[in-house]
Chains A and B, each alone.
Chain A
Amino acid sequence: MAGGQLPRRIIKETSRLMSEPAPGISAHPSEDNLRYFNVMILGPQQSPYEGGIFKLELFLPEDYPMAAPKVRFLTKIYHPNIDKLGRICLDILKDKWSPALQIRTVLISIQALLSAPNPDDPLAENVARHWKDNEAEAVATAKEWTRMYASQ
């Protein structure tokens, strides 16, 4: 794989992301590195994250699309599958990655994860326990964090 040359797939994906963005998601490549994307995801409706704007970074590694993109939350978020460093527990970002998936599908999956937290497969132990023990209180905390960190 050529080092400097950007694969055609990335170029195609980027242009399609810009021309037909998915609802509630925006992704723009960085100017000095076309493999690095600044991402913003709107908190889904009827979720504790509603009204928040969450910033993420997405990086396409050298092996992309044979290897999964690296995605991380930059905005603090109270979620059982996202830890305090913003790392995301999502199977398609790991062993279930398929080269037929795209940046768009990955970001839609992350948006869906915000709507449906899965405390049984946690990355952040204490948040997950909070979610299981007292969901109402955990949701309240998530709303509080959304208001504090994800509102502009």
Chain B
Amino acid sequence: MGTPHDCGAYSVERMMEDMYDYDSGYSEGEEEPSSDEAGMDFLDGECTTRTHHAQPTRWLLIDAKKLLQVQEEALASVMAILGCSRSTARSLLMHFRWNTETLFGMMAERGLDDLYRAARITSRSAKTPLAPCDAAELACAACLCDVARPDATQMACGHAFCNDCWRQHLAVQISEGRSRRLVCMGVRCGAVCDEEQVRQLLAGEAALLARYERSLLESYVEDNAMTRWCPSVPHCGNAVRVDGEPHCEPECSCGVRFCFSCTEEPHSPCTCEMWKRWKVKCHDDSETKNWLTANTKACPKCGKPVEKNGGCNLVVCMCGQAFCWLCGESTGREHTWTSISGHSCGRYSEETSARVDEAQRNVKRYTHYHLRREAHMSSQKLEAPVKAKLQASIDKLEKNQSTLKDYSWLSTALEQLFHVRRILGYSYVFAFYMFGNDMFREEVTPAQNALNQNLFEDQQQQLEGEVERLSMMTEMTPDRIMEAEDALRLDVINSTVNIDTRLVRLYELLENDLLGALTLGCHYISPYKGQSQLRSGGGVHGLSTAAVGGSLEFPGLGTGAGPSGDGDPTRPASPPVQAATAAGVARAAARAVPRQTQGLGQGSTGSGHRERAALVPGSPSKRMRHDPR
């Protein structure tokens, strides 16, 4: 095996070898990479060809106040263009799931009449002339009473009833949860009642009116394909609207992040379908059952599952019954190594054996991916307190120190570490389904699948190597941060950038080559580097700008604030960097898939500008920008 560390890769042979020993991470002849060996070769110029996610997904957090505002905006635009009433606009928008574009599109194509008909705004009986309501009294068809004209209300459809009956009708409808479509009382009319008239009728019923108004307001979220409530429990009251690509993982101001498509926890890079299946798999006992199928046989007497723990094919159950492991039939106890006396099943059943193999394979695959996912998830949990502690000391340092120092490189690294752990964890779920022979059996040939798996695991391993390196580096004591040794700082920054680059590549592979190649059905994942990937707003310094800029920026670097004071802007970039860059390009050209090799970075204690030049994995011109020459 070429890579130094590949315990994350799934190989059938390996699993057969150590089926009872999942700890053996390293096979013979393989060495754990020492941290100073894991290098960076991201300067190979490949990053200039980043093609995906041209437009990062944008999302809008809608709190209670904002909800009214965005809804009014949509209503106002429809009212202005159609020249209709607010309730007509609202009914239309509800019908078109608050998508003004589809609404206006249909109006342009089919005309206003069709539009109203589609949304069932006007009554079917609207063509009949309005009932004669100019008389002084009205015979209300609901209570069968004659009422004075001022005590009756006529809706736009022409049906008139007395106000008391209207109020009762509205009360029943609203309390049954039909506030958003309060229809006329007329027989087979179905026209939507005008909002203003409803408000007038309910003027004295504050509770009902409040319920009605709230329901109308919430329609913007609930009847809207591009808006979802935050799934927090207890509910924070916020909603999120997505403009554009609905596959993203927004974060609510209450701190909950979720997958917009399925409102489950964020699970990129695995797809919603994969995640759904994985959850079911983890929660039910299906794997236990599979294990039982694969490894046990029911005793022919007591029916308990019996596992063969060695020896010949004569198995004795705890109940004392002896039976043949091959066919499951009860036998006597007399036997030799190869045969049981008085019993000869002796037949080799291809089918049974295949079934058992398949079951065994599935159990092992599941265990493999599950354990590795758990490993990353527990690492993430362990790293959380480290992160909090470091962040606290950073804050303290930044407050107390008289000289201005920028520790955003460290915050950025910690944030990156937190997110990449998660991504790595879910990448195992992705791999379980992507390369298993279950989900995409009809679309990917076994040969292609093996190739894909190699590509994926190669990148995954490189990423893991880098993540472990960064994790180790961040487990440092506050006094080391205070000193902010150049070498360490440089290493951390390098590693962060490296992880970013590898993540971009991994996602490129996933989206373009793996999921993109599937033709039956569409599979989407939340892309890396949407704003969604990281906290929006000012929470993260470096990474949130990366979504736009395409590469990481480290504000702390250019300031020349290092303890050695090496910020001389006139000093040219030193030759070793350029040499290393050239070497990187050459290496990249020589290899189809870049591997983790020794790179630059460690041990380099050059000027801030040199670091920067080395660190920006962008185009040559981008590097030139930071090159003082």
Contact between B144 and A9, CB atoms less than 8 A apart: yes
| Chain A residue at minimal CB-CB distance from B178 | A95
User: Within 8 Å of chain A (Cβ to Cβ): is B472?
Assistant: no
Contact between B143 and A9, CB atoms less than 8 A apart: yes
Q: Which residues on B sit within 8 Å (CB–CB) of A63?
A: 168, 172
| Chain A residue at minimal CB-CB distance from B189 | A98
The 4 closest A-B pairs by CB, nearest first: A99-B142, A100-B141, A66-B172, A98-B187
Contact between A9 and B172, CB atoms less than 8 A apart: no
Contact between B172 and A100, CB atoms less than 8 A apart: no
Chain A contacts with B in 78-111, Cβ cutoff 8 A: 96, 98-101
Chain B contacts with A in 91-149, Cβ cutoff 8 A: 141-145
Interface of A is mostly: loop
Chain B contacts with A in 162-192, Cβ cutoff 8 A: 165, 168-169, 171-172, 185-189
Rounded to whole Å, the gap between the CB of A117 and the closest CB of chain B is 21
Contact between A1 and B168, CB atoms less than 8 A apart: yes
Contact between B142 and A96, CB atoms less than 8 A apart: no
User: Within 8 Å of chain B (Cβ to Cβ): is A120?
Assistant: no
User: Within 8 Å of chain A (Cβ to Cβ): is B161?
Assistant: yes
Contact between A13 and B172, CB atoms less than 8 A apart: no
Contact between A65 and B142, CB atoms less than 8 A apart: yes
Contact between A100 and B186, CB atoms less than 8 A apart: yes
Whether A100 contacts B143 in the complex (CB less than 8 A), given A66-B168, A66-B172, A67-B172, comes out as no
Whether A100 contacts B168 in the complex (CB less than 8 A), given A7-B143, A65-B142, comes out as no
Q: Which residues on A sit within 8 Å (CB–CB) of B165?
A: 65-66, 99
Q: Which residues on B sit within 8 Å (CB–CB) of A65?
A: 142-143, 165
**Between-chain CB contacts (< 8 Å), 8 pairs:** A8-B143, A9-B143, A9-B145, A66-B171, A98-B185, A99-B161, A100-B159, A101-B187
Contact between A98 and B186, CB atoms less than 8 A apart: yes
Q: Which residues on A sit within 8 Å (CB–CB) of B168?
A: 1, 63, 66
Contact between A8 and B144, CB atoms less than 8 A apart: yes
Contact between A99 and B169, CB atoms less than 8 A apart: yes
Q: Which residues on B sit within 8 Å (CB–CB) of A67?
A: 172
A binding-site residues for B, Cβ under 8 Å: 1, 7-9, 12-13, 63, 65-67, 96, 98-101
Contact between B143 and A96, CB atoms less than 8 A apart: no
| Chain A residue at minimal CB-CB distance from B141 | A100
Q: How far is the CA of A13 from the CA of B144 in the complex (A)?
A: 9
Q: How far is the CA of A9 from the CA of B161 in the complex (A)?
A: 14
Q: Which residues on B sit within 8 Å (CB–CB) of A9?
A: 142-145
Rounded to whole Å, the gap between the CB of B491 and the closest CB of chain A is 69
Interface string of B542-571 (1 = CB under 8 A from A): 000000000000000000000000000000
Q: Which residues on A sit within 8 Å (CB–CB) of B189?
A: 98
Q: Which residues on A sit within 8 Å (CB–CB) of B159?
A: 100
Q: Which residues on A sit within 8 Å (CB–CB) of B141?
A: 99-100
| Chain B residue at minimal CB-CB distance from A91 | B188
Contact between B185 and A100, CB atoms less than 8 A apart: yes
Rounded to whole Å, the gap between the CB of A70 and the closest CB of chain B is 15
Contact between A96 and B161, CB atoms less than 8 A apart: no
Q: How far is the CA of A9 from the CA of B168 in the complex (A)?
A: 14
| Chain A residue at minimal CB-CB distance from B165 | A99
Rounded to whole Å, the gap between the CB of B133 and the closest CB of chain A is 15
Whether A98 contacts B143 in the complex (CB less than 8 A), given A63-B172, A66-B169, A66-B172, comes out as no
Q: How far is the CA of A107 from the CA of B75 in the complex (A)?
A: 44
| Chain B residue at minimal CB-CB distance from A101 | B187
Rounded to whole Å, the gap between the CB of A56 and the closest CB of chain B is 21
| Chain A residue at minimal CB-CB distance from B183 | A98
Q: Which residues on B sit within 8 Å (CB–CB) of A99?
A: 141-142, 161, 165, 169, 185
- A1, A8, A12, A99 — most chain B CB neighbours (10 Å): A99
Rounded to whole Å, the gap between the CB of A102 and the closest CB of chain B is 8
Rounded to whole Å, the gap between the CB of B348 and the closest CB of chain A is 50
Q: How far is the CA of A65 from the CA of B165 in the complex (A)?
A: 9
Q: Which residues on A sit within 8 Å (CB–CB) of B185?
A: 98-100
Contact partner, A8, options B145, B172, B187, B188, Cβ 8 Å: B145
- A1, A66, A101 — most chain B CB neighbours (10 Å): A66
Q: How far is the CA of A92 from the CA of B211 in the complex (A)?
A: 27
Rounded to whole Å, the gap between the CB of A81 and the closest CB of chain B is 18
- A63, A98, A101 — most chain B CB neighbours (10 Å): A98
